[in-house]
């Protein structure tokens, strides 16, 4: 035991730049007191173990599907969230100052927002220049005079802070549009406290959960007065947004439906959620959609992310939007130089937390200063848009600087210059030990019932490499948890369980949006279609490569029949049905690999898996961690190389086996772990419907035409293998493969989970539980009628009739009966789509 040892010096090899301020060690190389408890633990673990913990943290994040999407990526793919396990430590004393500064700043920005969309005293009294407001893209005239209930307008606020060489914390930028990061901060906390449990316990760190409780209270408080228990929804731009993970995460954590613009509609002066069970009134919207995109009627008419008429509802006070539309005006960095004057005017106070020195070029002296010092400054446009983003002057070439000068001279009021601070450094774990890297801290405020509340901690980010600088919102930075040392003892644990408890406090009735039900239904269908396709392909590959039976005269014909069936079933035409099919049938290898792995090919297994994962991602908030982990596995199967080299079919077989395991894990988890909510119901309807239709297709493709006995026997063997029924068959029947017995097993055996009768039974039960199914003595609804017919057809079918073969070698009865059943199932799908998933056609400007 050496817990009494206080590390006097920094860990080995922690070398600092000369002028940098380091968060952990002082200029004498001593560990600062608020880091000592943490560093003791770190020393005990040793740097090798820290590296292990770092990897463990990344694994947890990956498994939880924590991502940050990268715009412009053609595949719309997401990047894993990066986390360094060593938190940024902040002493209780310093936090008191930061907190006070943030409280003041939140209040001040709130008053500015209320003024700009109210009396506009600030411009009238010249406390803010007209151009900064009236010419700013974030000042939305349509939002003039719209107010939320109560004092608070700015409900959610984030500030990026960094420490300069003078040890002071400076505000680098304010986030008021739809501040992101609070959810990532929470997830970071959960992961870090899991991989470093001892440290977390010993350091008396402030907990985060209360912050979200206050957020919920505040949002409830702004609901229109008519709403007794307000329905709060989280509006997301959708799965392609860079912080979509966080939207889904917060929605499920807070118990709010996650909705996209077309899940909502305006009727009779209110906003409604198009849920499975009809329109539900929405009282409060947390928006993660930029304000100009929120209403195509009054704001940006080409927006497809908003709700037409939303602003009018807000204007009437029938819905509260947080943050209110128009709040992005506060992100204007040109306001910074005027904040001290405004603080005096509104509060009679000086600013407790200052902004990094900022010069607005709309004033002649300031413009001259910026032009003369371009290389030393960060140049920011007052309004961010495509191509208008902050740049570091010292990274620009002479030509770029000259170009920038021209832009500033042509439109000076559009630019500010901001002092470029050399941020402080903090330790990061690397494979080689600790390294000091620049850090920045994003803090969060929420307007609760009793004023603003600051999240005790926040989302820190550090530069990806030693010596790198950091710009706020930069891609590629590595996040850190932030530990604020409590001045008084804290509750014992903070775990997912603890947060789960708060979920039940917060809870909201889960009105499942129609779009979500639609997506989850298709996840069921895609996953099942992928699995059935894989099974048939695997059987075919086995027959071709693993168990070839070239001596058998019937082998070739039955194999070709399987090839053609594969093309038809997956819909990967022309494939083995094309004009050059003779050649393909002779050397089928590359075609089989393409059907498995070519993601670009419609109907391929890779494309089906991709569709299942993508569709699943768009309802990310509905999956548990375990199910999502399996989805992540599915996604990884897609990373297979498309060329398999030598022994390709052998490798393919292995890939297919793994895919089957993953898909089985998915169906197993959804059977065993999902509550029997409407979500599950639609997932399983999708799955059963797809399986039933594929059984029918397979039988029609392979058995509608009569083959000679030997071929037929081999085909039956393959069919049984495909549906995992070989053993079952052998137990019940003779070892010789006979059609009537196989049909009994595949069509009528209700105890066989891969028979058609089993699927129809399930569907019959499911449709009676649909939200709009008949109640009591009412007549059967359309969906139920279809399944009653399907079920009776199976009950009444005569096996001998089905086996009859016409003169031209066709089993007409079998084919006709199966065709009718297919029609009934297809009609069921259409009926469900029309009844529950009907979407509006997309909006267009008049």
Partner 1 sequence: MRYRITHTTDYEYTGLVGHSYNEARLIPRECRHQQLISAHLEITPKETDFRLREDFFGNKIAYFAITEPHSTFTVTAISEVEVFGNDRQLDLSRSTSWEEVKDILKRDKHTEVLDARQYTLDSPYIITSPDLAAYAQPSFAPGRPLFEAVHDLMQRIHNDFTFDPKFTTLSTPVNTVLEHRRGVCQDFAHLAIGCVRSYGLAARYVSGYIETLPPPGQEKLVGSDASHAWFSVYLPNVGWMDFDPTNNQIPGDQHIVVAWGRGYGDVTPLKGVVFGGLDHELKVSVDVARLGP
Q: Which is nearer to partner 1, 137 or 464 (CB)?
A: 137
Of 42-50, 128-136, 180-188, 386-394, which segment contacts partner 1 by CB under 8 A? 128-136
Burial class of residue 185 in the structure, from the number of CB atoms within 10 Å of its CB (0-12 exposed, 13-18 middle, 19+ buried)? buried
Site membership for partner 1, residue 363 (CB under 8 A):
no
Q: How far is CA 156 from CA 181, 216, 461, 531, 775, in A?
A: 11, 11, 20, 45, 45
Site membership for partner 1, residue 309 (CB under 8 A):
yes
How many residues comprise the chain?
846
Least CB distance to partner 1 at residue 531 (A)? 37
Q: Which is nearer to partner 1, 145 or 643 (CB)?
A: 145
Out of 308, 330, 767, 802, the only residue in the binding site for partner 1 (CB under 8 A) is 308
Cα 698 versus chain centre, distance: 36
Q: Which is nearer to partner 1, 730 or 839 (CB)?
A: 839
The H-or-E segment that residue 39 falls in is: helix 33-63
Out of 19, 48, 141, 776, the only residue in the binding site for partner 1 (CB under 8 A) is 141
Which of helix, strand or coil describes residue 278? strand
Instruction: Give the 3-state DSSP-derived string for 702-736, with helices as H, strands as E and coil as C.
Output: HHCECCCHHHHHHHHHHHHHHCCCHHHHHHHCCCC
Out of 59, 79, 96, 124, the only residue in the binding site for partner 1 (CB under 8 A) is 124
Site membership for partner 1, residue 298 (CB under 8 A):
yes
Q: Which is nearer to partner 1, 163 or 384 (CB)?
A: 384
Site membership for partner 1, residue 846 (CB under 8 A):
yes
Q: Which is nearer to partner 1, 14 or 837 (CB)?
A: 837
Out of 144, 475, 724, 830, the only residue in the binding site for partner 1 (CB under 8 A) is 144
In 3D, which of 275, 276, 248 has the Cα closest to residue 264?
275
Site membership for partner 1, residue 782 (CB under 8 A):
no
Q: List Cβ neighbours of 830 (8 Å cut-off, separation of 6 or more).
A: none
Q: List Cβ neighbours of 428 (8 Å cut-off, separation of 6 or more).
A: 84, 86, 434, 435, 436, 437, 462, 478, 480
Query: Among residue numbers 218 through 277, which ones bind partner 1 (CB under 8 A)?
Result: 266-269
In 3D, which of 376, 418, 416 has the Cα closest to residue 396?
376
Which of helix, strand or coil describes residue 637? helix
Of 196-204, 308-316, 624-632, 752-760, which segment contacts partner 1 by CB under 8 A? 308-316
Q: Cβ distance 359 to 337 under 8 Å? A: yes
CA dist., res. 389 & res. 735, Å (int): 73
Query: E-strand spans in 350-449?
Result: 358-360, 377-381, 391-392, 415-419, 425-430, 433-448
Least CB distance to partner 1 at residue 294 (A)? 13
Least CB distance to partner 1 at residue 295 (A)? 9
Least CB distance to partner 1 at residue 237 (A)? 18
Least CB distance to partner 1 at residue 365 (A)? 16
Out of 75, 134, 344, 819, the only residue in the binding site for partner 1 (CB under 8 A) is 134
Site membership for partner 1, residue 302 (CB under 8 A):
no
Site membership for partner 1, residue 385 (CB under 8 A):
no
Of 82-90, 134-142, 275-283, 321-329, which segment contacts partner 1 by CB under 8 A? 134-142
Q: How many Cβ atoms sit within 10 Å of the Cβ of residue 172?
A: 28
Site membership for partner 1, residue 638 (CB under 8 A):
no
Least CB distance to partner 1 at residue 414 (A)? 10
Site membership for partner 1, residue 131 (CB under 8 A):
yes
Out of 138, 238, 296, 524, the only residue in the binding site for partner 1 (CB under 8 A) is 296
Site membership for partner 1, residue 841 (CB under 8 A):
yes
Number of residues that bind partner 1 (CB under 8 A): 29
Question: CA 576, 580, 582 angle in degrees (round to 5)?
Answer: 70
Site membership for partner 1, residue 312 (CB under 8 A):
yes
Q: Cβ distance 638 to 77 under 8 Å? A: no
What residue ranges bind partner 1 (CB under 8 A)?
Answer: 123-124, 130-131, 134-135, 141-142, 144, 266-269, 296-298, 301, 308-309, 312, 315-316, 840-846
């Amino acid at each position: 035991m050496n817990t009494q040892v206080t590390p006097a010096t920094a860990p080995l090899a922690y070398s600092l730049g000369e002028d940098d301020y380091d968060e952990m060690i002082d200029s004498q190389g001593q560990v600062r007191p608020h880091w000592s408890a943490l560093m003791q633990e770190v020393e005990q673990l040793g740097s090798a173990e820290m590296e292990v913990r770092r990897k463990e943290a990344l694994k947890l994040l990956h498994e939880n599907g924590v991502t940050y999407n990268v715009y412009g990526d053609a595949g719309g793919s997401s990047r894993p969230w990066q986390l360094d396990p060593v938190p940024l430590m902040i002493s209780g004393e310093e936090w008191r100052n930061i907190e006070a500064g943030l409280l003041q700043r939140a209040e001040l920005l709130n008053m500015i927002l209320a003024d700009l969309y109210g009396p506009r005293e600030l411009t009238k009294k010249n406390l803010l220049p007209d151009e900064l407001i009236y010419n700013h893209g974030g000042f939305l005239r349509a939002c003039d005079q719209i107010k939320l209930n109560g004092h608070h307008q700015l409900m959610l606020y984030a500030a990026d802070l960094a420490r300069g060489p003078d040890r002071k914390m400076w505000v680098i930028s304010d986030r008021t549009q739809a501040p992101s990061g609070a959810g990532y901060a929470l997830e970071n906390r959960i992961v870090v406290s899991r991989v470093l449990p001892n440290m977390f316990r010993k350091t008396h760190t402030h907990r985060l959960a209360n912050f979200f409780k206050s957020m919920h209270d505040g949002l409830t408080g702004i609901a229109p007065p008519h709403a007794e228990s307000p329905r709060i929804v989280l509006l997301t731009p959708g799965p392609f947004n860079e912080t979509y993970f966080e939207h889904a995460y917060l929605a499920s954590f807070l118990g709010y439906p996650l909705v996209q613009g077309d899940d909502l509609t305006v009727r009779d002066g209110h906003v409604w959620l198009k849920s499975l069970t009809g329109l539900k009134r929405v009282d409060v919207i947390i928006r993660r959609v930029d304000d100009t995109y929120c209403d195509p009627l009054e704001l940006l008419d080409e927006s497809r992310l908003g709700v037409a008429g939303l602003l009018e509802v807000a204007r009437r006070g029938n819905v509260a939007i947080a943050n209110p539309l128009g709040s992005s005006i506060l992100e204007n960095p040109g306001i910074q130089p005027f904040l001290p004057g405004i603080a005096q005017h509104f509060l009679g106070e000086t600013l407790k937390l200052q902004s990094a020195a900022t010069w607005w070029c709309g004033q002649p002296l300031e413009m001259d200063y910026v032009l003369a010092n371009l290389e030393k400054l960060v140049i920011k446009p007052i309004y961010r848009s495509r191509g208008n983003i902050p740049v570091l002057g010292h990274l620009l070439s002479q030509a770029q600087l000259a170009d920038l000068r021209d832009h500033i001279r042509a439109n000076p009021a559009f630019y500010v210059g901001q002092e470029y601070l050399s941020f402080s450094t903090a330790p990061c774990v690397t494979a080689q030990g600790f390294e000091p890297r620049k850090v920045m801290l994003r803090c969060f405020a929420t307007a609760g019932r009793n004023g603003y509340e600051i999240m005790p901690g926040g989302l820190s980010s550090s530069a990806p490499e030693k010596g790198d600088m950091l710009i706020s919102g930069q891609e590629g930075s590595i996040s850190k948890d932030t530990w604020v040392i409590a001045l008084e003892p804290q509750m014992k644990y903070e775990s997912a369980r603890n947060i789960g408890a708060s979920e039940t406090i917060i809870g909201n009735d889960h009105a499942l949006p129609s779009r979500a039900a639609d997506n989850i239904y298709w996840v069921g269908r895609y996953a099942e279609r992928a699995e059935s396709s894989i099974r048939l392909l695997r059987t075919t590959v086995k027959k071709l490569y693993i168990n070839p039976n070239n001596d058998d005269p019937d082998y070739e014909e039955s194999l070709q029949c399987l090839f053609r069936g594969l093309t038809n079933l997956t819909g990967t035409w022309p494939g083995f049905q094309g004009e050059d099919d003779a050649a393909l049938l002779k050397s089928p290898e590359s075609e089989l690999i393409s059907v498995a792995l070519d993601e670009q090919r419609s109907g391929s297994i890779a494309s089906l898996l991709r569709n299942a994962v993508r569709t699943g991602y768009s309802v990310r908030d509905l999956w548990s961690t375990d199910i999502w982990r399996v989805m992540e596995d599915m996604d990884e199967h897609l990373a297979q190389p498309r060329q398999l080299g030598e022994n390709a079919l052998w490798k393919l077989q292995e890939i297919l086996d793994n895919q089957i395991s993953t898909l089985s894990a998915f169906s197993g988890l959804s059977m065993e772990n999902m509550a029997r909510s409407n979500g599950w119901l639609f997932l399983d309807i999708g799955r059963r419907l797809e399986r039933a239709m594929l059984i029918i297709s397979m039988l029609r493709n392979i058995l509608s035409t009569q083959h000679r006995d030997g071929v037929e026997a081999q085909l039956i063997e393959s069919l049984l293998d495909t549906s995992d029924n070989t053993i079952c068959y052998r137990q019940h029947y003779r070892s010789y493969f006979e059609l009537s017995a196989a049909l009994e097993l595949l069509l009528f055996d209700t105890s066989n989970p891969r028979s058609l009768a089993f699927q129809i039974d399930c569907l019959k039960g499911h449709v009676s539980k649909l939200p709009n199914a008949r109640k009591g003595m009412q007549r059967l609804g359309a969906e139920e009628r279809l399944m009653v017919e399907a079920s009776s057809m199976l009950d009444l079918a005569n096996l001998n009739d089905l086996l009859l073969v016409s003169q031209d070698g066709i089993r007409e009865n079998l084919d006709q009966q199966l065709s009718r059943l297919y029609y009934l199932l297809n009609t069921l799908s259409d009926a469900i789509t029309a009844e529950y998933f009907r979407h509006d056609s997309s909006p267009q400007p008049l």
